């Protein structure tokens, strides 16, 4: 199948808000030499075309978060996202990496520190992503009302590098560990579905009095 990796930038999460307002979506395809970036006005039609195409796998790094902010932005996407899960077309490089560590017998306290896009990009692709406090990671809310054409180059590069790295990590995971087609574990699809369900319960579940 063809590969479509996606990554969303949003305002910051807060207590009781795990699906903050969406700012943009970066994407990458295995048959395109460069990643792309879509703003609020164009990302829903773009994403819908891939959600509805049974020939594409949809890949993310902690992709339940991306689905959450996308669905909060456009609730009509919910049915399409569930359909893609039902068809087994969603992959998550985070979950895949966790399954790889389980398979190799790596202790949980060690593997947890390595299951993030920065560490996996270094491991599989050999370069560092800028995830520091001074990067654009925490500042996309400042660009909510700014046209993409007016964004700083660093903000564009940060967003697109995440989708591009996610695609590269996925391909290297397959190259190094892939079995049974593209799956590293017989229940990988079930684990990916379960992670999405758990995230939805956290994002829109019952709020409680903390005290």
Q: Is the pLDDT of residue 44 over 80?
A: yes
| pLDDT surpasses 80 at 194 | yes
Neighbours of 160 (CB within 10 A): 19
The rounded percent of the chain whose pLDDT value lies above 90 is 78
**Which of 49, 34, 38 lies closest to 8 in space, CA to CA?**
38
What backbone phi and psi angles, to 5 degrees, belong to 37? -135, 130
Q: What is the pLDDT of residue 108?
A: 85
Q: pTM for this structure?
A: 0.92
Q: Report how far residue 147's alpha carbon sits from residue 40's, in angstroms, rounded to the nearest whole number.
A: 10
- When the pLDDT of each residue in the chain is averaged and rounded to a whole number, the result is 93
Instruction: Give the whole-angstrom CA distance, residue 55 versus residue 4.
Output: 10
**Regarding predicted confidence, which is higher, 32 or 16?**
32
Query: Could you tell me whether strands 2-10 and 22-29 are parallel, antiparallel, or unpaired per DSSP bridges?
Result: antiparallel
Question: Which stretches of the chain are DSSP H helices?
Answer: 43-51, 63-73, 77-86, 93-104, 108-114, 117-125, 153-177, 188-204
Average pLDDT of the residues in 55-64: 97
Phi, psi of 146 (to 5 degrees): -110, 135
The mean pLDDT of 117-136, rounded to a whole number, is 87
Please report the pLDDT score of residue 133 as a whole number. 67
Asked if 187 and 59 touch (Cβ cutoff 8 Å), the reply is: no
- Does residue 208 carry a pLDDT above 90? no
Query: What number of other Cβ atoms are within 10 A of residue 82's Cβ?
Result: 15
Which DSSP state fits 142? G
pLDDT value for 132:
67
Is 55 a residue whose pLDDT tops 70?
yes
Tens of pLDDT, residues 142-170 = 999 999 999 999 999 999 999 999 999 99
Helix, strand, coil tally for the chain in percent (to 5): 50, 15, 35
What is the torsional sign of CA 74, 78, 83, 89?
positive
Question: How many Cβ atoms sit within 10 Å of the Cβ of residue 162?
Answer: 26
């Amino acid at each position: 199948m063809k590969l479509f990796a996606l990554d969303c930038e949003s305002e910051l999460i807060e207590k009781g808000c795990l699906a903050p307002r969406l700012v943009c979506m970066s994407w990458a395809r295995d048959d395109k030499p460069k990643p792309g970036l879509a703003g609020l006005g164009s990302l829903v039609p773009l994403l819908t075309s891939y959600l509805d195409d049974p020939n594409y796998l949809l890949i993310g790094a902690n992709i339940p978060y991306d689905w959450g902010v996308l669905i909060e932005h456009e609730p009509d996407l919910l049915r399409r996202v569930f359909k893609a899960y039902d068809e087994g077309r969603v992959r998550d490089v985070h979950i895949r990496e966790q399954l790889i560590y389980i398979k190799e017998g790596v202790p949980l306290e060690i593997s947890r520190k390595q299951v993030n896009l920065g560490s996996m990009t270094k491991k599989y692709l050999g370069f560092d992503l800028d995830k520091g406090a001074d990067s654009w990671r925490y500042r996309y809310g400042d660009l909510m009302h700014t046209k993409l054409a007016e964004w700083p180059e660093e903000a564009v590069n940060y967003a697109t590098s995440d989708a591009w790295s996610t695609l590269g990590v996925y391909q290297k995971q397959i190259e190094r560990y892939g079995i049974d087609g593209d799956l590293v574990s017989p229940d990988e699809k079930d684990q990916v579905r379960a992670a999405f369900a758990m995230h939805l319960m956290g994002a829109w579940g019952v709020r409680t009095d903390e005290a």
